Amino acid sequence: MNLLKAIEQRHSVRAYTDRPIEGETLSRLQKLVDNANKASGLHIQLVLNEPKAFDSKMAHYGKFSGVKNYIALIGKRGGDLDEKCGYYGENIVIGAQLLGLNTCWVALTYKKIDEALQIEKDEKLLMVIAVGYGVDNGKAHASKFYDEVASPKDAPRWFKEGVEAALLAPTAMNQQKFTFTLKGDKVLAKAKFGACSKTDLGIVKYHFEVGSGKDPDIWI
């Protein structure tokens, strides 16, 4: 399976089985986290066998069950923390999908468990990503159309494929509040106003890069 296939097969999963993440899968998942931290300067942490974060009323209200493992997105406050966590977090999500794992981004319906995390004074926990073996593989979300999020209509194939991959991305409440505009041979990606829309922007930019086959220097 390649990255694009993983993007197509990924859906948010909120119910997990008891199967632990272990062996080769665990070491590869940890490597994805380590590589993301090295590239970004973030302090992302893989938390295993910690059921308390998803054991609250709020988590059940959010329809989560069996979540014992999660990826905590932590980094220095300010700057572009939200977008950076989106970009590198989704990098891990798609890597996890390739390892046969399921995931769900979670901004709201979890509890911060202090003793499970290492957060320095100048850092903050932005949100988490539940990870594990899902009860099922989830289902495709309703999506906006190309014309609603991208211009021009008549664009090169690589741009259209980038946008199509972005439309498959997870966004908070499936809001898809982003736009892609082709400007010469560069692309302007923008977040519209909305909850977590800066994190969403980082996520969809990663998808766009995979779909279009372009490097991060494609961005204006």
Q: Which residues bind ligand FMN (CB under 6 A)?
A: 11-12, 14, 62, 104-109, 138, 141, 170-174, 196, 199-200, 203
- Between 162 and 170, name the residue whose CB sits nearer to ligand FMN: 170
Residue 215 has phi, psi (to 5 degrees) of -85, 170
With CB atoms as reference, the residue minimizing the distance to ligand FMN is: 170
- Between 13 and 155, name the residue whose CB sits nearer to ligand FMN: 13
Rounded-to-integer distance, Cα 91 and Cα 37, Å: 11
Query: Is the torsion defined by CA of 96, 98, 99, 104 positive or negative?
Result: positive
Residue 116 has phi, psi (to 5 degrees) of -90, -5
* 124, HSE (Cβ side, Cα atoms, 13 Å): 8
- Between 94 and 196, name the residue whose CB sits nearer to ligand FMN: 196
In the complex, least distance from residue 162 CB atom to ligand FMN, rounded to whole angstroms: 17
In the complex, least distance from residue 27 CB atom to ligand FMN, rounded to whole angstroms: 26
- Between 7 and 155, name the residue whose CB sits nearer to ligand FMN: 7
In the complex, least distance from residue 63 CB atom to ligand FMN, rounded to whole angstroms: 6
Closest CA to 125 of 75, 184, 66: 75
Task: Output the CA torsion 3→194→84→112 (10° steps).
Answer: -100
In the complex, least distance from residue 191 CB atom to ligand FMN, rounded to whole angstroms: 11
- Strand runs labelled E in the chain: 45-47, 70-76, 102-106, 123-132, 150-151, 178-183, 186-191
In the complex, least distance from residue 82 CB atom to ligand FMN, rounded to whole angstroms: 9
- Between 81 and 196, name the residue whose CB sits nearer to ligand FMN: 196
